[in-house]
Amino acid sequence: MNAAALLNKHRIADSFSRAAQTYDAAAELQRQIGHQLLASLAVAAPDCIPERVLDLGSGTGYFTPLLRQRFAASQLLSLDLAQGMLAYAREHRPDPNAAWLCGDAESLPLASDSLDLIFSSLAIQWCERPERLFAEIARVLRPGGRFVGATLGPDTLHELRDAWAQVDGDMHVNRFVGREHLLADLPATLRLRAFTTENRVLRYTQLRQLTSELKGIGAHNMNHGQPAGLTGKARVQAFKAAYERHRDPEGLLPATYQVYYLNVEKM
C-alpha cells in the first residue's frame, strides 16, 4: 500500500475543523510557504488576468484577502474539506465577491473548463490519490490555465519519525508522497512548467513546543494504522529521549519540512 492510500479523509476534515480557532496562531511556517507560493505567481503567470480563481484547501481564509488584492476583478472561490475552517474564514475574512465551498480536491464540485487559476498552499498532501487530484485539476482548468501549489514531501518531520522508530514499529507521523510518485500521476493534459524543492527547518528549545504547534494547526497523525489507545508513559519517555539525540550544537531541537513547489499548465 502506498503512502497516499493510508490517509483518513474523515479524520483530516474533523481535525482541521477543530483546529480552526487555533490554526492562525500556530501556522507561521504555513504562512511563509504560502507567501512564497503567492510571490511565485508573478513568474508562473506574469500576464495572467484570471476570470475565476480557486484557492484549493483555503483553510482559515488567510490568503483570501491577498488573492483578492492581486486579482481584484476575479471571481474568487475558496474550497476546503473542513466545514469548521470555512465557517471561520467566512466570519473572520469576509469577501462579498468570494464563494466558500466545502468539498474534496479529488472530487471538485465545479464544472469542467471553469477555472483559470488554482492556488493551493499545503493542502494536496492530504489527498489519498494524487492521480485523482490531478485528473480533477485537469478537468476544471481551462486550456492555458495554471495550477500553482505547495505540498510536503516524505522527508517532512523525519526527526519525529526517526525518534518514534526507536520506540516501536507503529505509524506515528504522517507520510507524504515523494516527487517521483507525485509527478508520475500528472495526466498528459497537464504540463509541468516548474518544480522546486526546499527544506525548511524549525528549531525548538523543548519538544512540547513542536507537538503543541502540530496540535494547534490540526496536523495530527492522519494515517490508517496509527497506534490505538493511549501511548504508555514509558514509551513517551523513550520517544523524548530518542528525539533528544537530534539536538543540534546550539542546543535546539530541529523539525524539518520538505516543501515541494509545483507550477503546472493545462494544455
pLDDT tens for 194-230 read 999 999 999 999 999 999 999 999 876 655 555 544 4
Structure confidence at residue 230 (pLDDT) = 44
b/e 195-222 (16+ beta carbons within 10 angstroms → b): eeeeeeebebeebeebeebbbbbbbbbb
Q: Is 90 exposed, middle or buried (0-12, 13-18, 19+ CB in 10 A)?
A: middle
Distance, in Å, from the CA atom of 223 to the CA atom of 27, rounded to the nearest integer, reads 21
Rounded-to-integer distance, Cα 128 and Cα 106, Å: 8
DSSP type of residue 73? T
Q: Give the fold, CATH level 3, of 3-156+174-202+256-266.
A: Rossmann fold (3.40.50)
Whole-angstrom Cα distance, residue 262 to residue 155?
17
Strands 52-56, 141-152: pairing kind:
unpaired
pLDDT at 229: 44
Spatial strand order in the sheet of 98-102: 98-102, 75-80, 52-56, 115-121, 141-152, 253-266, 190-204
- Under-50 pLDDT residues of the chain: 1-6, 228-230
What does the alpha-carbon distance between residue 82 and residue 239 come to, in Å, rounded to a whole number? Answer: 31
The Cα–Cα gap between 125 and 176 comes to 6
253 within 8 A of 247, measured Cβ to Cβ: yes
Q: Read off the pTM.
A: 0.91
Rounded-to-integer distance, Cα 81 and Cα 203, Å: 30
- Given this model, what pLDDT does residue 43 score? 63
Cα 33 versus chain centre, distance:
10
